[in-house]
Copies of this chain bind each other. A is one copy, B any other.
Amino acid sequence: MSTRLEAWGVVGLPEVVPGDQLGELIAEACRRAPNGPLADRDVVVVTQKIVSKAEGRLVEVDPDDPLSHKAVVESEAVRIVRRRGDLIITETEHGFICANNGVDLSNVQRGRAALLPKDSDRSARRVRDIIRARLGVEVGVIVSDTFGRPWRKGLTDVAIGVAGIAGVVDLRGTPDALGRTMQVTEVAVADELASAAELVMGKSSGIPVAIVRGADATWFRDASVRELVRPANEDLFR
């Protein structure tokens, strides 16, 4: 595995509007970036918010009613998992379990809410393909979003779409440091990369893209975020 990792935010991106090709904007910003150009096997982490904006995944909500997006949440959700007060935990059409079905009001124009991208793997692939075409480098791309956890406070960023980078790396059967065969070690590297990227993006600083350099070469492969979704028959907390 890798022994050194670096992560930095991409500065200089314009405000994203529907119809933008994110790959073009990111390629252009990286070309001018003070941190130097993108390289093969960099991981480009793009927050869901700008993906949803670029893809026009915005719906109108009542700007004077802080709960008006809850109707959107209920109509978009595949399943209501839990509900308490204003908090709704749902299953999205992608199979993600999260608060408010991923519908979000922050960093979106007043009177609008952003839905999750319809197919975040496709969104990630599109960014990857454009960066390859424009800059001639082969990167992994992760679309990230900020999820809560049932038993831990605080939010962390996770992957909701991947292209060219593994969701989960399977280390089962690899001998541990004492030479014993390991029990279970499927590492969710895409989620850990998304979390590392979040640390340099910050929620309020308006940096929606980060680069992570130093991911292990073996993690780069065709992949889907479905690797990260636990199937219903393994879910003990439905």
Which residues in A have some Cβ–Cβ distance to B below 8 Å?
1-9, 11, 35, 82, 84, 87, 89, 96-97, 105-110, 146, 149-158, 167-169, 171, 174-178, 180, 182-189, 191-193, 195-196, 198-207, 214-216, 227-230, 235-237
Contact = CB atoms under 8 A, between A and B. Distances in A.
Contacts of A202: 1-2, 216
Given A105-B183, A185-B106, A199 B2 contact: yes
Given A6-B4, A106-B185, A199-B2, A152 B229 contact: yes
A203 B187 contact: yes
Contacts of A237: 82, 150-151, 237
A81 to B, nearest CB: 8
A67 to B, nearest CB: 12
Contact of A151 (B97, B174, B200): B97
A87 B235 CA distance: 12
This chain's copy number in the assembly: 2
A79 B177 CA distance: 32
A167 B154 contact: yes
Contacts of A109: 178
Nearest to A155: B187
B153 A186 contact: yes
A53 to B, nearest CB: 11
A5 B35 CA distance: 12
A106 B1 contact: no
Contact of A158 (B1, B152, B184): B152
Contacts of A229: 151-153
B152 A236 contact: no
A74 to B, nearest CB: 17
A6 to B, nearest CB: 5
Nearest to A166: B154
7 contacts: A2-B202, A5-B6, A97-B150, A150-B230, A153-B167, A153-B188, A154-B189
A174 B1 CA distance: 38
B236 A150 contact: yes
B3 A200 contact: yes
